[in-house]
């Protein structure tokens, strides 16, 4: 996660009923509901997701959202991951039993929604009544009674936008009440600047929306601010929303494939396992990774890390010893149930901002072959084109180049890199880390991005974004692997609060265990790619 992510950028401002001065893009949606890697030290010894080989592998453990069926427009499953390719042309809203989903596309150059030059506003009239909520002109939608307003990079017209998300609900008389993204289950994807976005809001009743989103809904998505260009997109969609129900809890954790390798990436929030080891130990034991890549585990060298693993986890899944490697000054480390052949200390070049890439790498002998495994933590914070974003690109470029050189030098079968990439500016750091920016236009990137979904939720977020944070949940953590050698069998993220009571008991977990960090543990199952 970002180490210095501000805790209160852009204090909530009073709601305003002023009309927007300039509009960059506007999506109008009307929904009619039914009902609802030079060695430095010796390593210390020590619901079912289908198996598919595709960049978009996992099927969310929720009943898929269904886009509206119309003439020549069959229903389609919507996957909430920031990739809108599966949305039918012209469809701007859909739903499942737990969430309302919106799709929107800013015009002109993309920007980062939570730290952008303009304010993005989502207004929801959840009862299609102009007589309740904050009255405003909805343009083609007619008069609106706005019950919920979500501002990204919040600010009033003519004021420089802030950062994060501001949520305001309006009671029947139009009086404003401060809420939060957590209360209404709001999130969007991707976290970096994009040409298109997906957003969702939980349909279940909350303090902000006492009756939930079960009846006729009208939605308006627009921009405001001095930097907004006078250009708009207007579309209206009618949709029958199905019955309102909460998202079902996950009944279990997928078992590791017998011929695969389970890799887990986990940002543990400022060395929290030192003070509160139990929830982290329970989570790691429940997920049983072969290789664990950790970030923000500061000050623990390989021996200290080995001691922690031995004391808190016991023998690795019943036999053998743990193998560990750490870059304690950078807070990145590896814990492996398989032998570390060589621990790697790499002096990577400093980026434009003077920072050194946080990298811990090791050659590990696994059932799938000899591989380079690396835990990384890219520069935090910033926005699109900021010094921090440029630093992330420089770090990712250096890490990718060194990883490829090490693979050639040591004759390794594959490379796996995972960690907190802090993608809150551009997507360029991810493309640099996978080698996509060096690949020919017609070629795939050498390293493939894996795609996890939260068990029992269907979202792709890895950073929780709790109610105290002004930033909503999003995907900051990634695992990438050699595309020509490894296939992704499945990938998922664990939120213990989304497991059923029976599953918690079965895996020895408590519902609040993953709350010990602001990041969720990300698990990727890798198998050997079949020869063509």
Please give the full DSSP string across 62-79, using - where no structure is assigned. Answer: SPPEEPPPBTTB---EE-
The pLDDT, as a whole number, for residue 111 is 86
Lateral strand order in the sheet of 414-420: 340-344, 358-366, 369-377, 414-420, 477-482, 447-449
Q: What percent of the chain has pLDDT over 90?
A: 60
Q: How many CA atoms lie within 13 A of 332 on its CB side?
A: 27
pTM: 0.87
Average pLDDT over residues 83-102: 87
* CATH superfamily of domain region 261-526: Endonuclease/exonuclease/phosphatase (3.60.10.10)
Q: Are 419 and 377 in contact (CB under 8 A)?
A: yes
Is the pLDDT confidence value at 324 over 80? yes
Angle, to 10 degrees, between the axis of helix 277-287 and the axis of helix 302-313?
A: 80
The pLDDT, as a whole number, for residue 257 is 83
Cα–Cα distance for residue pair 53/489, rounded to 1 Å: 7
If you average pLDDT over every residue of the chain, what do you get?
Answer: 83
11 DSSP assignment: P
Give 531's pLDDT tier (boundaries 50, 70, 90).
confident
Q: What are phi and psi of 104, to 5 degrees?
A: -145, 155
Q: Are 149 and 126 in contact (CB under 8 A)?
A: no
List the alpha helices (DSSP H) in 157-288: 181-184, 272-275, 277-287
The pLDDT, as a whole number, for residue 262 is 98
Strands (E), 190-240: 197-202, 217-224
The pLDDT, as a whole number, for residue 77 is 66
Is the pLDDT confidence value at 269 over 90? yes
- Bridge partners (DSSP) of residue 371 are 364, 414
Which range has the worst mean pLDDT, 12-26, 267-281, 469-483? Answer: 12-26
Is the pLDDT confidence value at 425 over 70? yes
The pLDDT, as a whole number, for residue 25 is 52
CA–CA distance from 109 to each of 32, 222, 227, 293, 489 (Å)? 33, 16, 12, 35, 36
Q: Where in the chain is the domain with CATH 3.60.10.10?
A: 261-526
The pLDDT, as a whole number, for residue 96 is 83
The pLDDT, as a whole number, for residue 181 is 96
Q: pLDDT for 446-475, tens place per residue?
A: 999 999 999 999 899 999 988 889 999 999
Q: Are 93 and 194 in contact (CB under 8 A)?
A: no
Is the pLDDT confidence value at 276 over 70? yes
How far from the centroid of its chain's Cα atoms is residue 364's Cα? 28
424 DSSP assignment: S
516 DSSP assignment: G
Q: pLDDT for 110-124, tens place per residue?
A: 889 999 888 889 999
Tokens 């835990």 locate to 375
Q: What are phi and psi of 42, to 5 degrees?
A: -75, 140
Compute the residue count for the chain: 532
């Amino acid at each position: 996660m970002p180490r210095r992510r501000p805790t209160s950028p852009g204090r909530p401002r009073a709601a305003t009923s002023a009309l927007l001065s300039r509009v960059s893009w506007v999506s109008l949606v009307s929904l009619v509901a039914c009902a609802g890697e030079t060695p430095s030290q010796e390593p210390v010894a020590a619901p079912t997701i289908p198996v598919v080989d595709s960049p978009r592998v996992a099927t969310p453990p929720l009943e898929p959202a269904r886009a509206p069926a119309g003439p020549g427009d069959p229903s389609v499953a919507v996957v909430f991951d920031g990739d809108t390719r599966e949305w039918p042309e012209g469809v701007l809203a859909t739903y499942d039993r737990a969430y309302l989903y919106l799709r929107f596309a800013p015009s002109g150059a993309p920007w980062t929604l939570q730290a952008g030059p303009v304010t993005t506003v989502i207004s929801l009239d959840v009862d299609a009544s102009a007589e309740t909520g904050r009255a405003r002109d909805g343009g083609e939608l007619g008069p609106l009674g706005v019950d919920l307003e979500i501002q990204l990079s919040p600010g009033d017209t003519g004021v420089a936008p802030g950062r994060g998300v501001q949520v305001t609900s309006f009671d029947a008389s139009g009086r404003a009440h401060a809420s939060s993204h957590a209360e209404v289950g709001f999130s969007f994807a991707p976290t970096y600047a994009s040409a298109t976005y997906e957003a969702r809001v939980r349909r279940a009743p909350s303090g902000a929306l006492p009756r939930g989103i079960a009846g006729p809904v009208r939605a308006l998505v627009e921009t405001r601010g001095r930097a907004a260009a006078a250009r708009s997109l207007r579309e209206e969609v009618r949709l029958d929303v199905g019955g309102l129900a909460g998202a079902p809890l996950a009944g279990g954790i997928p078992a590791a494939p017998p011929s695969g390798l389970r890799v887990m990436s986990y940002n543990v929030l400022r060395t929290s396992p030192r003070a509160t080891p139990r929830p982290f130990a329970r989570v790691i034991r429940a997920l049983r990774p072969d290789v664990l890549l950790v970030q923000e585990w500061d000050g623990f060298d390989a021996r200290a890390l080995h001691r922690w693993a031995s004391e808190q986890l016991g023998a690795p899944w019943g036999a053998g010893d743990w193998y560990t490697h750490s870059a304690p000054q950078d807070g990145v480390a590896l814990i492996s149930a398989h032998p570390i052949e060589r621990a790697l200390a790499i002096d990577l070049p400093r980026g434009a901002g003077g920072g050194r890439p946080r990298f811990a790498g090791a050659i590990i002998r696994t059932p799938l072959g000899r591989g380079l495994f690396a835990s990384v933590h890219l520069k935090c914070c910033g926005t699109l084109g900021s010094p921090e974003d440029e630093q992330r690109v420089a770090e990712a470029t250096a890490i990718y180049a060194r990883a490829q050189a090490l693979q050639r030098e040591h004759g390794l079968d594959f490379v796996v890199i995972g960690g907190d990439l802090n993608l809150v500016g551009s997507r360029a750091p991810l493309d640099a880390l996978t080698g996509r920016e060096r690949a020919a236009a017609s070629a795939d990137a050498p390293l493939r991005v894996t795609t996890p979904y939260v068990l029992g939720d269907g979202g792709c977020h890895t950073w929780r974004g709790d109610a105290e944070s002004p930033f909503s949940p999003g995907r900051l953590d990634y695992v990438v692997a050699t595309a020509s050698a490894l296939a992704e069998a499945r990938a998922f993220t664990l939120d213990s609060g989304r497991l059923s009571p029976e599953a918690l008991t079965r895996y020895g977990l408590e519902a609040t265990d993953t709350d010990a960090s602001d990041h969720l543990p990300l698990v990727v199952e890798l198998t050997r790619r079949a020869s063509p």
